[in-house]
Amino acid sequence: MTKINKEAKDEGSDLVDSLTDTHLTETINDLFGAGTDTTITTLHWTIAIMAEYPDIQKKVAIEIEEVIGHDRLPSLEDRGRLPYAEATMMEVLRFSSIVRLGVPHATTCDVMLDNFQIPKDTMVVINHFALHFDEEFWDQPKCFKPEHFLDDSGSVRQHPNSFLPFSTGRRSCLGESLAKAELFLIFTWLLQNFESAWWQR
């Protein structure tokens, strides 16, 4: 019995039988296997976009300089204090849409969706790309605009329901919180330490 199994049993958890070594191993494999490639690809997009939009890069770098400076590393506690950097990272996730189609799901019962009958056990997928570029929800969706995620006061706003880079529901991305945290830390660290030379002249 693993330590986690023992802790769950001691707490009287109903999940003790599902916390097998196999389950834990597969969960960790999912986090590393699925999370490594997607995170690296997102960071590639981030660097490419910052090179393409140096004016946005400059705004992020100035915000980081004003809030964090260069005497310490960014931390997760800085997330609420760097709204433009947060909005820029979310816009990277929307604009890149590296997972164009979600993981296949199946309907558990007959469903009516906008006058379409979807029978039970039908395979369905979410088209993230279409959601992220839907003109009904996004102003100028083909433009890279961190303002998509900022309100009039410059604070991070609640994103539309059509922003689903990690999918949604019970089968959403297992590593969403981890991915968001590490993307924020790496992104802010990069722009804290490496900046385009053109606007510093």
- pLDDT of 167: 79
- Architecture label for domain 3-200: Orthogonal Bundle (1.10)
Residue with tokens 């558990």: 108
Describe the chain by its helix, strand, coil percentages, rounded to 5.
Answer: 50, 5, 40
Domain boundaries, the chain: 3-200
Q: Rounded to the nearest 10 degrees, how much is the dihedral formed by the CA atoms of 136, 142, 148, 154?
A: -140
* Positions of the chain with pLDDT lower than 70, given as ranges: 1-19, 23, 27, 29-37, 195-201
Per residue in 143-164, pLDDT (tens digit) is: 999 999 999 898 988 888 889 8
How far apart (Å, rounded) are the C-alpha atoms in residues 124 and 104? 6
The pTM assigned to this predicted structure is 0.77
CA angle 142, 144, 145 (to 5 degrees): 115
